[in-house]
Chain A
Amino acid sequence: MVCCPVESMYARSAIARRPPVMMLAAVLLIAAASVATSVVAANGRVCVVDDLGRDVCLDGAARRIVALSPAATELLFAAGAGDRVRGAVDYSDYPEAARAIPRVGSHARLDMERLVAMQPDLIVAWHSGNPAEQVAPLIALGLTVFYTEPLQFEDIATSLERLGRLAGTETTADAVAAGYRAEIAALRARYANTAPVRVFYQIWDEPVMTVNDTHLIGQALQLCGGVNVFGELGRQVPRLDRESVLAAEPEAIVAGGMGEDDTDWLDDWARFKEMPAVQRGNLYFVPPSLIQRPTPRLADGTGVLCRKLERARAQR
Chain B
Amino acid sequence: MRSAESRHAAAIGDAAALPGPHFGLRSRLVRTLSLLGAVAVGAILIGIAVGSVTVPLPALWQVLTGEGSALHRTLIFELRVPRVLAAFATGGLLAMAGALMQVLLRNPLADPYVLGLAGGAAVGALGAMLLGLGMVAVSGSAFTGALVSTIMVFGLAHGTGSWTPTRLLLTGVVVAAGWGALITFMLVIGPTERIPGMLYWLMGDLSYARSPWAALGTLAIALAVISPLGRSLNVLARGPMQAATLGVAVRPLEWGIYIAASLLTAAAVTTAGTIGFIGLIVPHMLRLMFGADQRLLLPAAALAGGTLLVLADTLARIVIAPEQLPVGVITALLGVPTFLYLLYRSRF
- Residues of A at under 8 Å CB distance from B? 1-3, 9, 13, 90, 103-106, 108-114, 116-117, 119, 128-129, 131-134, 136-137, 141, 209, 235-237, 239
Contacts and interface: CB of A to CB of B under 8 A. Distances in A.
Contacts of A3: 131-132
B135 A113 contact: no
A2 B132 contact: yes
B53 A110 contact: no
Give me the 9 closest cross-chain CB pairs, A-B, nearest first. A111-B322, A108-B196, A109-B324, A117-B53, A113-B53, A105-B322, A128-B193, A237-B192, A133-B135
A235 B188 CA distance: 12
What is the size category of the interface that chain B forms with chain A? 20 to 34
A110 to B, nearest CB: 7
A134 B207 contact: yes
B21 interface: no
Nearest to A239: B188
Contacts of A131: 196-197, 200, 207
B323 A109 contact: yes
Contacts of A1: 191, 193
Contact of B208 (A112, A133, A239): A133
Interface in B216-264: none
Contacts of A106: 323-324
B317 A109 contact: no
B70 to A, nearest CB: 9
Q: Identify whether the interface residues of A are mostly helix, strand, loop, or mixed.
A: mixed
A108 B193 CA distance: 9
B305 to A, nearest CB: 23
Contact of A132 (B135, B188, B317, B323): B135
B148 interface: no
Nearest to A102: B322
B75 interface: yes
A3 B208 CA distance: 24
B135 A114 contact: no
B322 A236 contact: no
B71 A113 contact: no
B79 interface: yes
Contacts of B74: 116, 141
A110 B317 CA distance: 10
A235 B78 contact: no
17 contacts: A1-B193, A90-B323, A103-B322, A105-B324, A106-B323, A109-B196, A111-B317, A111-B321, A116-B53, A117-B53, A119-B71, A128-B191, A131-B196, A132-B135, A133-B208, A136-B135, A141-B74
A48 B208 CA distance: 30
A290 B235 CA distance: 69
Contacts of A132: 134-135, 197
Contact of B192 (A13, A90, A112, A209): A209
B52 interface: yes
Given A129-B193, A141-B74, A2 B130 contact: yes
Contacts of B193: 1, 128-129
A2 B191 contact: yes
Given A108-B200, A134-B207, A114 B52 contact: yes
A132 to B, nearest CB: 6
Given A104-B322, A235-B191, A113 B131 contact: no
A114 B319 CA distance: 14
Contact of B207 (A103, A109, A128, A239): A109
A102 to B, nearest CB: 8
A112 B321 contact: no
A237 B196 CA distance: 15
Contacts of B133: 13
B188 A109 contact: no
B192 A133 contact: no
Contacts of B322: 103-105, 111, 114
A189 to B, nearest CB: 32
Interface in B179-208: 188-189, 191-194, 196-197, 200, 205, 207-208
Contacts of A90: 323
A109 B75 contact: no
